[in-house]
Amino acid sequence: MLSVLAQEAAYNADYIAGQEALFSGVAYGLAAIGPGIGIGYLVGQAVQAMARQPEMAGQVRTTMFLGIAFAEALALIGFVVFILLKFA
Amino acid sequence: MLSVLAQEAAYNADYIAGQEALFSGVAYGLAAIGPGIGIGYLVGQAVQAMARQPEMAGQVRTTMFLGIAFAEALALIGFVVFILLKFA
Amino acid sequence: MLSVLAQEAAYNADYIAGQEALFSGVAYGLAAIGPGIGIGYLVGQAVQAMARQPEMAGQVRTTMFLGIAFAEALALIGFVVFILLKFA
């Protein structure tokens, strides 16, 4: 009887770990949708701005990288969430 | 019989914790969609504004950072929600 | 009795691995939505910028590849997530 209970407990722990891992990928997948669209829009507008004012190209590129960094950070935090759910 | 009941109770508590953790990642993933798109749009428009009025570039960048801070805060609150669901 | 428990344990491990693999594809699928739209928008705007200022075509193309790299990286991280869920 005791070994059955121990087995049961081990099963439960495994089951919970499996359930956590189940949606860990979905977490990253959802977190990548927004930054993907955002970075695309951002660089698209930056390229348009360069074509409109070629002498501002340097400052436009600097600002573009700032925006890419802030948007990409959201997806990288999503990857941290995935790692925490899958392996922690 | 008592040990079986205790086992049952432990199982239920674990099961609920597992269910909470299950959707914790989905919570952050959903919370990151909006800010990702929003920051991309915001910086894209800021870059366009710089190209249109180069002498306003400094003020445009300051306002852009204000918007980034407020949009990014939403995703960071989503990360706090994830931490609370997973570990608290 | 013991062999039944061993059988049970093997079944559970397989079941959990199956559950993980179940949603691993959904993870990549979701992660590909955003970058797909983003890269499409980005290259569309780059082509428009080239048509507006043909003498800026070289710089526009360089910036376009920068943006493609950052947006594509999100989908490639999604592929890493899929590999980790399916095989790790």
Pair of tokens at residue A31 = 């977190």
For chain A, which ranges sit under pLDDT 70? 1-21
Other C-beta atoms closer than 10 Å to the C-beta of A59 total 17
More confident residue, B87 or A64: A64
Question: What pLDDT does residue C51 have?
Answer: 92
Split into its structural domains, chain A has a count of 1
CATH of residue B69: 1.20.20.10
User: What are the pLDDT digits (tens) for A52-73?
Assistant: 999 988 999 999 999 999 999 9
Q: Reply yes or no on whether the pLDDT at B24 is more than 90.
A: no
Residues of A in contact with C70 (CB under 8 A): 39, 43, 68, 72
Question: What pLDDT does residue B40 have?
Answer: 94
Best mutation target among C7, C19, C20, C83 (most A Cβ atoms within 10 Å) is: C20
Do the Cβ atoms of A55 and C55 come closer than 8 Å? no
Closest C-alpha to B42, from A50, C21, A66, C46: A66
More confident residue, B31 or C87: B31
* Residue span of the structural domain in which A52 resides: 1-87
Minimum-distance CB partner of A30 among B7, B18, B33: B33
Read off the pLDDT of each residue in B54-66 and give the average, rounded to a whole number.
Answer: 92
Pair of tokens at residue B37 = 């798109």
Q: Treating both helix axes as pointing N-terminal to C-terminal, what angle do C57-87 and A2-52 enclose, rounded to 10 degrees? A: 180
Q: Reply yes or no on whether the pLDDT at B44 is more than 70.
A: yes
> Whole-angstrom Cα distance, residue C73 to residue C88?
21
Taking phi over 0 as left and psi of -120 to 50 as alpha, with beta for the rest, C21 belongs to alpha
Question: What pLDDT does residue A19 have?
Answer: 66
> Whole-angstrom Cα distance, residue A86 to residue A79?
10
Taking the whole predicted model, whether its pTM rises above 0.90 is answered as no
Helix-strand-coil split of chain A, %, nearest 5: 95, 0, 5
Question: What pLDDT does residue C87 have?
Answer: 82
Instruction: Note whether B36 contacts C: Cβ–Cβ < 8 A.
Output: yes
Do the Cβ atoms of B37 and A38 come closer than 8 Å? yes
CA B24 to chain centre: 11
For chain C, which ranges sit under pLDDT 70? 1-20
Question: What pLDDT does residue A73 have?
Answer: 93
Q: What residue type is C81 in one-letter code?
A: V
**3-state secondary structure string across C57-79:** HHHHHHHHHHHHHHHHHHHHHHH
Pair of tokens at residue A33 = 């949708």
